[in-house]
Structure 1
Amino acid sequence: MKLKWGKKRYTFVIIPDANSSVRRFEVPKLIPYIAGAGLLSLVIVTLFLYVLHARTVMVASNLQTRVYSQDTLYATTVQEKNETIEQLQNEVIKLSKQTSDMKSQIDDIRKLEEEVQTIKGSDKKTASADPASTGKAMGGVMHPATQDEVKDMLEQTRTMLTDMNEEVDNLKNSIVNTKEEALAVQQKQRVTPSIWPVDSRTITSGFGLRQDPFTFRPTYHSGYDISAPLNSKVKVTADGVVQSTGSDSLHGNNIVVSHSDGLRTWYMHLNKINVDKGEKVEKGQVIGLVGSTGRSTGNHLHYEVLKNGVSIDPKPYLK
């Protein structure tokens, strides 16, 4: 017997209550199967959506974790960059301070150099900078400096400044020593009778044996007779102290000045004495005037140099 699904039906009886009439519904036999299949499909779709949602939530969570990690990494990188920039700024400040100190040291050296040049009597001038080297024109292809390059530059600059500090210290000490030596030389020259006592250079009688101008006999002359007009200025030939002043028939008006290293100078036949015994005198100071007092045949200065009390030739001292 062949079944016919399309003609078979299910009858549903609905009884509202005891007093109501019974209601009946007939539906094709295929409808419940279709409803069951639809429900099953709905359950399957719901499960699929749930799984998809769970996966989406997991992916979103992973993405959020990665974003948080990236944010943390970015914040760390920014902090490291800021710390590096701050470190570089501190290095620049230190280098600036060192440069300022270096400039002060260079200024001190220049002052010492000027003092030495003044002591030496040099008129040397500092060479001016080449205009081409001081111009503002510049150019070239721009290549941004890397952090490593900046650090290398700072390290090299720090090393150079350290070396320059040592070199400047050595140079400064050397110039200080040179200055002290120059001052010592200057002081020695100040106390050494090395200038002419009068402007005249006419020597009428030298040091050593000569014919006496009064007796015409051979005699020993202990100094230089330098001819000069009456009242010509007589200058002391070195720093010293007036040891004595006086007048007698042989030396006339005369002055003896004591210097260092056992040296003394003697000025005779003066017309006038301008200093007193015990007075300090400076090289080139006028101490008297030329005359012809004492044993003299005319206006002149008898100039004598004594070493440890012994008269010596003044020639090596006259420049």
Structure 2
Amino acid sequence: MKLKMGSKRYTFVIIPDANSAVRRFEVPKLIPYIAGAGLMTLMAVTLVMYASHAKNATVANELEKRIVSKDAEFSSTVQEKNQTIEQLQSEVIRLSQQTAEMKQKIDAIRQQEDEVRSLTGSGQVSISSADAPPASAAMGGSSTPATDAEVLTLAEQTKSQLSDMDKSVDELKDSIADTKEKALEAQEKLKVTPNIWPVDSRTITSGFGLRQDPFTSRPSFHSGYDIASPANSPVHVTADGVVASTGSDDSHGNNIIVTHSKGLQTWYMHLNKINVQKGEHVQKGQVIGLVGSTGRSTGYHLHYEVLKNGVSSDPKPYLP
């Protein structure tokens, strides 16, 4: 009769040493197979766990690298942001300084416009107060970082100043246009108003009013200025106008009368030469003749006379 598989056994003999008793162990024949299968299973589980651990370690290492990269990227972004904020704050400060400088320039233009208006007699415009410009570029003091609130306040103030400046520029534009118109009117008025010396000389040998006549030594009325000047010195017309007459006689010698605006006329006598003709338009400063000693004259000079509505006037108010 055959024995079943499960009834077969293995005998293990353990001999400790020569003086000890021999020990025997019997185990069923399946035990070694079961142990081998368990060992293989344990090895498989160990391999699986090792592979899983290696994979987890790889993933963890990759995550760590990503975290380090993101952290570096975040730090760089924060640093760039801080630098950008500092740059913007510096730009706000520079813009504020430029705004103040521009305000000073606008006020300087208004100052000049006031001077032009005063010259043309068209009044003055109001000038807003401006901070005095720095005497030099020298600076100093302790370094205290500005707070965000201070920079924000400065930005709001600059925005307000720029808004006010925008209005001021519009007002200044209109005002300058008006001043230009007034200046052109004044310029045209100056062109037709005698207000320059007819010759380069400033030597007045006989003034306006009563004098002792150089020929009779009697008291007489002198209707203009006698201005001593070298022979053939250029004689300039003192304002824009039209030559009313040219001629020569024993008293006035070679002479020219020029008509200007508002009833004014100028008269140039004792000329050596006449360079213009009756009806000719002349411009202020134009040479109309040469100094001489023709007519009733004791020497080379120009008799310059100003007539208002046909009446001789003192030339003094018409000479600078």
Pairwise TM-score range, normalised by the shorter structure = 0.5 to 0.7
CA deviation after TM superposition for structure 1 residue 188, in Å: 2.8
In structure 1, how many angstroms separate the alpha carbons of the residues matched to 2:222 and 2:303? 10
In structure 2, how many angstroms separate the alpha carbons of the residues matched to 1:193 and 1:302? 15
Q: Deviations over 1:217-241 (max 9, x none)?
A: 4332211222222111111122222
Structure-2-length-normalised TM-score:
0.52
Q: What does residue 246 of structure 1 align with?
A: 247
In structure 2, how many angstroms separate the alpha carbons of the residues matched to 1:210 and 1:131? 61
Structure 2 SS opposite 1:301: strand
In structure 2, how many angstroms separate the alpha carbons of the residues matched to 1:217 and 1:154? 83
In structure 1, how many angstroms separate the alpha carbons of the residues matched to 2:162 and 2:217? 78
Q: What does residue 309 of structure 2 align with?
A: 308
Q: What does residue 202 of structure 2 align with?
A: 201
Structure 1 gap ranges (5+): 1-95, 121-126
CA contact (8 A) 1:112 1:179 kept: no
Percent of aligned positions that are identical: 65
Structure 2 SS opposite 1:271: strand
CA deviation after TM superposition for structure 1 residue 254, in Å: 0.9
Q: What does residue 174 of structure 1 align with?
A: 175
In structure 2, how many angstroms separate the alpha carbons of the residues matched to 1:295 and 1:270? 11
Q: In structure 2, do the counterparts of structure 1 residues 129 and 276 end up closer, same or farther at CA, with 3 Å as the change threshold? A: farther
**Which of 109, 127, 132 is the aligned partner of 2:137?**
132
In structure 2, how many angstroms separate the alpha carbons of the residues matched to 1:309 and 1:214? 26
In structure 1, how many angstroms separate the alpha carbons of the residues matched to 2:291 and 2:232? 5
In structure 1, how many angstroms separate the alpha carbons of the residues matched to 2:151 and 2:206? 80
CA contact (8 A) 1:112 1:175 kept: no
In structure 2, how many angstroms separate the alpha carbons of the residues matched to 1:187 and 1:281? 14
Give the aligned length. Answer: 214
CA deviation after TM superposition for structure 1 residue 317, in Å: 1.8
Structure-1-length-normalised TM-score:
0.52
CA contact (8 A) 2:243 2:282 kept: yes
CA deviation after TM superposition for structure 1 residue 259, in Å: 1.4
Structure 2 gap ranges (5+): 1-94, 120-131
Letter in 2 for 1:169: D
Structure 1 SS opposite 2:137: helix
Structure 2 SS opposite 1:132: coil
Q: In structure 2, do the counterparts of structure 1 residues 230 and 128 end up closer, same or farther at CA, with 3 Å as the change threshold? A: farther
Q: Deviations over 1:48-75 (max 9, x none)?
A: xxxxxxxxxxxxxxxxxxxxxxxxxxxx
Q: What does residue 291 of structure 1 align with?
A: 292
CA deviation after TM superposition for structure 1 residue 282, in Å: 2.4
CA contact (8 A) 1:112 1:176 kept: no
